[in-house]
Amino acid sequence: MDYRKCAQEIYDLVGKRENLVSAAHCATRLRLVTADNSKVDIKKLEDVDGVKGVFSSNGQLQIILGTGTVNKVYDEFLSISGMTAATKADVKAAAAAKQPLPFRMVKALGDVFVPILPAIVAAGLIMGLLEGMTKIWPDMATSGTYQIFHLFSNAAFVFLPILVAVSAARVFGGNIFLGAVIGMIMVHTDLVNAWSVAGMMEAGQAIPQADVWFGLYKINLTGYQGHVIPVIIAVWFMSFLEKRLHKIVPEMIDLFVTPLVTVLVTGYLTLTIFGPVFAQLEEWVLVGVQWIITIPFGIGAAIAGAIYPLTVVCGIHHMYNTVEIGMISNTGLNTWMPIASSANFAQGAACFAVALKTKDKKFKSLALPSSFSAFLGITEPAIFGVNLRLMKPLISGMIGGAVGAAVGSMLGIGATAYGVTGLFGFLITTKFIWQYAIMLAVSFAISFTISWFLHKDKPKDEEVAAADEAPALPEITCEKGKVYAPIKGNVIPSANIPDDTFAAGVLGEGVGIEPVLGVVYAPFDGEISSTTDTKHAIGISSPDGMELLIHVGVNTVAMEGDGFELFCAEGDTVKAGQKLMTFDIDKIKAAGYSTTTAVLVTNSDDYAGLDIKEGACEPLDCVISIKE
């Protein structure tokens, strides 16, 4: 075929250069990200000579060309468009940038918090233990040992905006040290500590204010300890401004002009706009919560218990102390505490279910202590580190928290103090010990059960190890026109592969194999005709002209090679049974992709037909035979 003609037609039909954001390719497909999908003529694209199919997925326009063809068309496409070659990561990032705003925001939160979680987990566990112990031994709070450990427990939360700012600057591409400065501004000692505001209001003390924007309005000079969203917004703006200044400021003065302007502008906007706007939102939330919990029959408590984790994400949950203080002053009973406690315990239970079910040792080491911290009342590690990232545990916890809060409301539970939730909440609910225990048990049981059944991570470390250590199989004598199983597993017709392209035979007829061991062996004597940068697909040709594609999993190109290892290279001569690749079945499943492996004769049109053998197979069992 005329590769340049094919590339030119594709280029014209996708809207030319002004509509192209990024371009890359995998083993079989040209992967494009366009600025405006409505400018792409899908119908005409499908009619281009050489194009075997077109579809959109995850923000990418995928044009199926087949092995051996796609890389040649791609080279011509780059030449015609003037674009530079993009990596799979570049295309993925460009496609992600086109995702709906809520998805991008959740991803950004996860990316920001994951690196700082160890600090928050450690501080949360220390804080929870200290708060509980001082309720048991009040005199401990006056000891020097307590003061030292309280300093340890408080540090990560007092200076949380600095940690968040540094991590956010890394995520948004800004200077991490400038990000640290913005975080320091938000918790500067010249500002009133955010956790002291409620006490000052209760004592009737005025909060210091400052005139801003030439006297247009005043702002409260309060810090942002414990806050998340305003810090991330501020650092996002800082990173945007810094990168823009680097482009327009002359290089000879860029070193001092860009940091100076970045800090001055971002800092002032943060304290005068970003922060105050968020503070106003906090007030509205508090008013809304106070109204919600008055709804009778436990309905209001259920709603509050469900949305409480979302306010933790926004960093405004500390402001509920104002509600609790008011309740204690008016009635002597804090009925908000059971709601918060149920919500916190439920998030811990959902995280605990993930910790017990997963066999990913790294993730378990994060989820387990995070759940313990939540049981003691500090939920940030569980929410940001596990539940929000996976989403299903967050929802599980919201459901459990809602039901538990409703139970607590109907049982009339109240606390005599505030600031403590979870297991140590028993110390301030002494008149409702059994009721409180029932509420926590309900929250735990519902959240844990739902999270357990929704979480799908079922790693099998022994299979991964077996795959890594698997030796090459004994040599066999290959028969002409036969394909021997490259993988141990279960053979299914290619029409049953959970991918429309493979199932429709666009890339050729063959079989799918549902693997039980992550090792790929050579299916016959031949030559490796192609491999991919992402290591998930191999093309191999036999001496008699058969062309075979082995594509591990569906959409696994998105894993960018994580979990895959190749033991061959393009041009290598291989023998049947020789180990070509290993792959981590559990990582593929954990990433949400099917492990079904396509074994396709890509030039099957050259033959009268194929006979396939379905069912369980061992490596080198004959699974495809060419019809004579």
Tell me which residues are annotated as active site: 26, 551
Chain centroid to CA 510: how far? 35
Count of beta carbons in the 10 Å neighbourhood of residue 611: 12
Residue given tokens 């005409």 in the structure block: 44
Q: By the 8 A CB rule, do 347 and 397 touch?
A: yes
Q: Residue 624: beta bridge partners?
A: 483, 612
- Is 353 in contact with 455 (CB distance < 8 Å)? yes
Give the span between the Cα atoms of 616 and 513, in whole angstroms: 9
CA gap 186, 314 in Å, rounded: 16
Helices (H), 219-335: 229-248, 251-269, 275-292, 299-314, 320-331
* Radius of gyration from C-alpha coordinates of the chain: 30
Beta-sheet strands, E only, within 500-593? 509-515, 519-521, 526-531, 537-541, 547-551, 564-566, 573-574, 579-583
Q: CA 65, CA 506: separation in Å to the nearest integer?
A: 9
Q: For residue 166, which amino acid is it?
A: V
Amino acid letter, residue 104: R
Neighbours of 524 (CB within 10 A): 26
Find all residues with CB under 8 Å of 381, minimum gap 6, and list them.
117, 120, 121, 124, 369, 370, 373, 374
Q: Give CA–CA dist 172/239, Å, rounded.
A: 6
**Spatial CA neighbour of 234 closest among 197, 262, 195, 261:** 262
Separation of alpha carbons 6 and 4, rounded Å: 5
Nearest CA to 440 among 129, 388, 432, 300? 432
Longest dimension (CA), the chain: 95
d(CA 466, CA 581): 13
Closest CA to 351 of 366, 334, 341: 366
- Edge to edge, what strands does the sheet with 610-612 contain? 482-484, 622-626, 610-612
How far apart are the C-alpha atoms of 288 and 307, rounded to whole Å?
A: 11
Q: Which residues pair with 493 in a beta bridge?
A: 511
Name the 3-class secondary structure at 98.
coil
Per the CB < 8 A criterion, the answer to whether 374 and 362 are in contact is: no
Beta bridge partners of 257: none
CA torsion, points 377, 382, 384, 387, in degrees to nearest 10? -130
Q: How far apart are alpha carbons 408 and 301 in whole angstroms?
A: 8
User: In whole angstroms, what is the distance from residue 577 CA to residue 212 CA?
Assistant: 75
